[in-house]
Structure 1
Amino acid sequence: MDITKVLPEECLSLIVSLTSPRDACRSSLVSHSFRLAADSDAVWDRFLPSDWLQNISDSDSDLSSVQELSSLSSKQIFLRLCGNGVLLNNGTLLFSLGKESGKKLYVIGARRLAISWGDTPSYWKWKSLQESRFPEVAELKIVWWFEVKGKIESKLLSPNTTYAAYLVFKFINSTAYNRIVGFDRRVQAGIGYEGTVLLGGQKRKVLLDPPTKKKRKKVHVPRDRGDGWKEVEIGRIFIEDGDDGNVAFYVQELNPHNSKGGLIIEGIEFRPQVSR
């Protein structure tokens, strides 16, 4: 029996809306009736976070971008936010959606981070890169005290969701005058709720420039993202419904005898983890 001849489009839309964005896209290939149902606003409104427009409108986003999104169908909005996302707060924060879950994803650009000595030109250089999602990235010339810190409001993130935080970075093209140094040693990373210490958080050791691909116990190493950048997980945190306050994080290596240089930071990405 062809259920599309028995059930009205509204019922088909309700059924599809109880699945996932991926399943909805697959359903649209079944038949013409399923395509009409699966592409409807009734389905994709369920996949979009209820406060997506507020998140964008309350920030310093480009007004034309907000107007453009508001004129699209719910499916088009979802796909647009899963793609390039929207830059907020004068180009220092990127908002997008996870394509499999519709949960919110944020990338905190380098300009929004607290980087020790970051405004000292002899230590750090700010520049634009074509492959970056942000107008500026931070390039480390040389420091002995390496510390990158930041925070994000927990209410911005999707509730009842585990988030992994990643440092997104790359290294310079090493020359005789510009070298990668100091990151073949472990750095410490942490994440948790803001306080005098990271409350209830976790700490871990991270190796940004491992000398070989040999696995190391209890040390987290980077992976290539496929977009010209590397990422390394610096920690995870579960966001409960109703959580308030700030999620804080840091990456640091404070050995004054170990000079460090050659690192380029794009930002910190908070990515929802999807159960498989």
Structure 2
Amino acid sequence: MDLTDRVVVVTGGAGGIGAALGRRLVAEGAAAVVLADTAADRVRAVADGIGPTAHAVVVDAADADQVSALVADVERQYGRIDLFCANAGVATGRGLDAPDADWERAWRVNVLAHVYAARAVLPGMLARGEGYLLHTCSAAGVLTAVGDAPYTATKHAALGFAEWLSITYRDRGIRVSALCPQGVDTPMLADGLAAGHLGARVIAASGAVLTAEQVADVTVASLAEERFLILPHPEVADYARRRVEDPDGWQAALRRMVVRLGPGG
């Protein structure tokens, strides 16, 4: 996809990967980048810092009505949406002890937000015969987020949904990419480390933490190639092969890591 003169929406745009994507998309020549987030002050500050082609809106990506209104407003103002980046996400750092409220929030933000975005934006894209969906699914959707059961389950669901969209709509002009980074230096990782979450400590111990800007660079390059699976950490492909070829050995290695880095590790 050539990003020049494109109209783009990015959810989760107040920081981390979303903000980095916003900056990079504008640098690539996008006509307008609409950054959506629930954190009003932060998303407005990001948009103001990027410049006049970036615009901030306060929207909950996990609310179907708000997403529908966002899409309608952008289409009314700019005539179309060329690329919708469903980027909002939440982690819990919990296992079976996670309360139902955490599971519900993870499901709504990590999965249903992608469904709501697709429902709202696809009619216009299909009518034009072209459009692009970018879903941030995480390497947890390809592998496993040790220490976080809701995150693992919902990110697997998000990746499955993105694949379904690609299979169903690509021949009708719709491109879909699933962005699956592993460790990224974002507030989500920082908050997890501060809380002592096992998954965050595993990521930090791996020594393979990228900046959000590096992830944005890889993402833009992959959008140009219209690749379905975007892996800013190329080693994730090797991990995935090992996971499929030797699931028992893969799980054993993760269990050893959990023992080493678990409470008191």
Identify whether the pair has TM-score above 0.5, normalized to the shorter chain. Answer: no
Of structures 1 and 2, the larger Rg is shown by 1
Q: Which has the higher helix share?
A: 2
Q: Which has the higher strand share?
A: 1
Higher relative contact order (CA 8 A, sep 6+): 1
For normalisation by structure 2, the TM-score amounts to 0.30
For normalisation by structure 1, the TM-score amounts to 0.29
